[in-house]
Amino acid sequence: GAGVSQSPRYKVAKRGQDVALRCDPISGHVSLFWYQQALGQGPEFLTYFQNEAQLDKSGLPSDRFFAERPEGSVSTLKIQRTQQEDSAVYLCASSPEDSGGAARKFFGPGTRLTVL
Amino acid sequence: GQQLNQSPQSMFIQEGEDVSMNCTSSSIFNTWLWYKQDPGEGPVLLIALYKAGELTSNGRLTAQFGITRKDSFLNISASIPSDVGIYFCAGRLGSWGKLQFGAGTQVVVTP
């Protein structure tokens, strides 16, 4: 398909395990965002990439969270030593624009992470 | 930090009725956007607003960017069953397109 895809769609982890969540943005999109959505809440910003450069990581909750986009396309969000409070839906979004224009973005379906 | 309040939290309406929801912020946003999210899916952009006072329509949807730049509303006219879902407002922060979202308005449409 032509949209943003994410894998896996569902992930169950035991507390303390490391997880890696993948995002395939729309081909050619410059901007890529990660958001975290807790149950019953709106998405919250985690980090932003413009091509391969991570320009903003101010939303990452702790140093257990790490994101990369090494070739400016696919991105991976890694969470080390998962905790129960990390349980949420992790949304990836991409935009063909940079700067403020990247406010218009296309979201993937998300990965639902459950930490037991 | 900035607070973005969305209301109502939920609404139950009959098919054919109009729906209105709004968002207010403690600070100014440069862009307001409205998204709809269905269960198990990511948010889908409905309308984007870029100027204070701007009124924009998309089919049965109408949204306005408040004059003070601290608020926005979304109206849905003549609701139909597929309007069911959670509607989020979002304001753009800073230069990179980072968005702050409201908590959402859940809309339930009954026949």
Query: For the segment B69-107, what is each residue's pLDDT rounded down to a tens digit?
Result: 999 999 999 999 999 999 999 999 877 888 999 999 999
Partners of residue B97 in chain A, C-beta under 8 Å: 31, 33, 48, 95, 97-105
What is the pLDDT confidence band of residue B2, given thresholds at 50, 70 and 90?
low
Greatest Cα-to-Cα distance within chain A, rounded to the nearest angstrom: 39
Work out the average pLDDT over A25-35: 96
Does the pLDDT of residue A26 top 80, yes or no?
yes
Judge whether A55 is closer than 8 Å to chain B, CB to CB. Answer: yes
Hey, what's the torsion of the CAs at A22, A20, A98, A26, to 10 degrees?
0
Q: Which of A7-16, B2-11, B53-62 has the lowest mean pLDDT?
A: B2-11
Chain B residue whose CA is closest to A6:
B42
Work out the average pLDDT over B1-10: 84
| Residue-level pLDDT at A57 | 94
Does the pLDDT of residue B26 top 80, yes or no?
yes
- How many Å apart are CA A42 and CA B74, to the nearest integer? 17
**Probe site for chain B from A31, A45, A54, A89 (most B CB atoms < 10 A):** A45
In 3D space, the residue among B68, B79, B77, B75 whose CA is nearest the CA of residue B89 turns out to be B75
Taking one residue from A and the other from B, the number of pairs with CB-CB distance under 8 angstroms is 78
Judge whether A87 is closer than 8 Å to chain B, CB to CB. Answer: no
Does the pLDDT of residue A71 top 90, yes or no?
yes
| Residue-level pLDDT at A104 | 84
**Probe site for chain A from B6, B98, B101 (most A CB atoms < 10 A):** B98
Q: Which residue has the higher pLDDT, A102 or B44?
A: B44
In 3D space, the residue among A74, A84, A32, A107 whose CA is nearest the CA of residue B97 turns out to be A32
The pLDDT > 70 percentage for chain A reads: 99
What is the residue-averaged pLDDT of chain B?
93
Site of tokens 């407002």? B89
Task: Pick B97's closest partner by Cβ from A59, A105, A108.
Answer: A105
A94 near A49, Cβ under 8 Å?
Answer: no
Q: Where are the beta strands (DSSP E) in A51-110?
A: 53-56, 65-68, 75-79, 88-95, 106-107
Q: Which residue has the higher pLDDT, B40 or A67?
A: A67
B89 near B9, Cβ under 8 Å?
Answer: no
Partners of residue B102 in chain A, C-beta under 8 Å: 42
Radius of gyration in angstroms for the set of CA atoms belonging to chain B, rounded to a whole number: 13
> What count of residues does chain A have?
116
- Name residue A6's amino acid: Q
Count CB atoms within 10 A of the CB of residue A78.
13
Judge whether A105 is closer than 8 Å to chain B, CB to CB. Answer: yes
Judge whether B28 is closer than 8 Å to chain A, CB to CB. Answer: no
Judge whether B76 is closer than 8 Å to chain A, CB to CB. Answer: no
Q: Tokens for A113?
A: 């992470």
Count CB atoms within 10 A of the CB of residue B55.
11
Q: Which of A10-19, A94-103, B5-14 has the lowest mean pLDDT?
A: A94-103
Q: How far is B104 from chain A (nearest CA, A)?
A: 6
| Residue-level pLDDT at A99 | 75
What is the pLDDT confidence band of residue A102, given thresholds at 50, 70 and 90?
confident
What is the residue-averaged pLDDT of chain A?
95
